[in-house]
Structure 1
Amino acid sequence: MQNRLNFNFPTPIRFGAGVIDELPDHLLAQGLNHPLLVTDPVVSELEFFQDILNGLRSKNMTPEVHTEMHKNPIESDVLKGGDHYHRSGCDCIVGIGGGVALDVARAIVLRIHHHRPLFDYDDLIGGDQYVTEEVPYFVTVPTTAGTGSEVGRSAIISEDISKKKRILFAPKLMARQVFADPMLTMELPPFVTAATGMDALTHNMEAYLAKNYHPMCDGIALEGMALIAKSIEKATHHPDLEARSNMLLGSLMGAVAFQKGLGVVHSLAHPLSSLLDTHHGLANAVNLPYGMEFNYAGLESRFDKMAEFLGVVDADGARVVDFLFELNQRLELPTKLSEIGVRPEHIEELSNLAVADFAHPNNPKPVSWDDFHTLYQKAL
Structure 2
Amino acid sequence: MDVSKIHGFNFPCPIRFGAGASKELTDYLKANKLSRPLLVTDGTVAELSFFKEIKNDLQQKGFSVEVFSEMHKNPIKSDVLKGGDAFHETGRDCIIGIGGGVALDVARAIVLRVNHKRDLFDYDDLIGGDKYVTEDVPHFVTIPTTAGTGSEVGRSAIISEDESKKKRILFSPKLMARMVFADPLLTMELPPFITAATGMDALTHNMEAYLAKNFHPMCDGIALEGIALIANSLETATHRPDVESRAKMLLASLMGAVAFQKGLGVVHSLAHPLSSLLDTHHGLANAVNLPYGMQFNYEGFEARFDKMADAFGLSKNNGNRVVDHLFEMNDRLGLPTKLSAIGVEAKHIEELSELAEADFCHPNNPKPVTRADFKNLYEKAL
Report the TM range for the smaller structure's normalisation. over 0.9
For 1:191 and 1:18, locate their aligned partners in 2 and report how far apart those are by CA, in whole Å.
24
Give 1:162 deviation, angstroms: 0.2
State which of 264, 275, 278 in structure 1 corresponds to 2:266: 264
Match of 1:311 in 2: 313
Q: Is the 8 A contact 2:307 2:316 kept in 1?
A: no
Partner of 1:281: 283
Report the equivalent of 1:73: 75
Gaps of 5+ in 1: none
Question: Which residue is 2:6 aligned to?
Answer: 4
Q: Indicate the residue corresponding to 1:360 in structure 2.
A: 362
Correspondence for 2:143: 141
Residue 63 (structure 2) pairs with residue 53 (structure 1): no
Partner of 2:44: 42
Deviation at 1:4, TM superposition (A): 0.5
Tell me which of 153, 162, 172 is aligned to 1:151: 153
After TM superposition, the structure 1 stretch with the greater mean CA deviation from structure 2, 48-57 or 273-282, is 48-57
The letter of the residue matching 2:139 is Y
Select the residue among 196, 199, 213 that pairs with 1:194.
Answer: 196
Identity %: 75
> Partner letter of residue 356 of structure 1?
A
Distance 2:307 2:343 in 1: 34
Alpha-carbon offset, residue 209 of structure 1: 0.2
TM-score between both structures, scaled by the size of structure 1: 0.99
The residue that corresponds to 1:350 in the other structure is 352
2:122 aligned partner: 120
Q: What's 1:88 paired with?
A: 90
Are the equivalent residues in 1 in contact too, given 2:306–2:316 (CA < 8 A)? no
Q: Which amino acid aligns with 1:58?
A: Q
* Structure-2 separation of matches of 1:314 and 1:124: 39
Tell me whether 1:25 sits opposite 2:27 in the alignment: yes
Native 8 Å contact 2:95 2:111 kept in 1: yes
Q: Which residue of 2 aligns with 1:240?
A: 242
Q: Deviations over 1:124-149 (max 9, x none)?
A: 00000000000000000000000000
SS of 1:260 mapped into structure 2:
coil
Q: CA deviation at 1:310?
A: 1.0
* In 2, Cα distance between equivalents of 1:133 and 1:27: 22
User: In structure 2, do the counterparts of structure 1 residues 84 and 324 end up closer, same or farther at CA, with 3 Å as the change threshold?
Assistant: same
1:142-181 maps to which residues of 2 (within 5 A)?
142-181=144-183
Write out the 4+ residue segments of structure 1 that deviate beyond 4 Å after TM superposition: none
Between the aligned partners of 1:46 and 1:320, the Cα distance in structure 2 is 37
Q: CA deviation at 1:325?
A: 0.1
Q: Is this contact kept in 1: 2:198–2:284, CA < 8 A?
A: yes
Q: Structure 1: which amino acid aligns with 2:216?
A: H
CA distance in structure 1 between the aligned counterparts of 2:163 and 2:242, rounded to whole angstroms: 42
- The match for 2:339 is 337
How much does 1:232 deviate?
0.3
Structure 2 letter corresponding to 1:347: I
Local SS of the residue matching 1:62: coil
Q: Distance in 2 between matches of 1:255 and 1:73?
A: 19
2:251 pairs, out of 229, 245, 249, with 249
Measure, in 2, the Cα distance between the counterparts of 1:44 and 1:185. Answer: 14
Give the Å deviation of 1:314: 4.9
Instruction: Show structure 2 runs of 5+ residues with no match.
Output: none
Counterpart residue number, 1:320: 322
**Residue identity in the other structure for 1:291:** G
Query: Aligned partners of 1:55, 1:22: CA distance in 2, in Å?
Result: 11
The size of the alignment, in residue pairs, is: 380
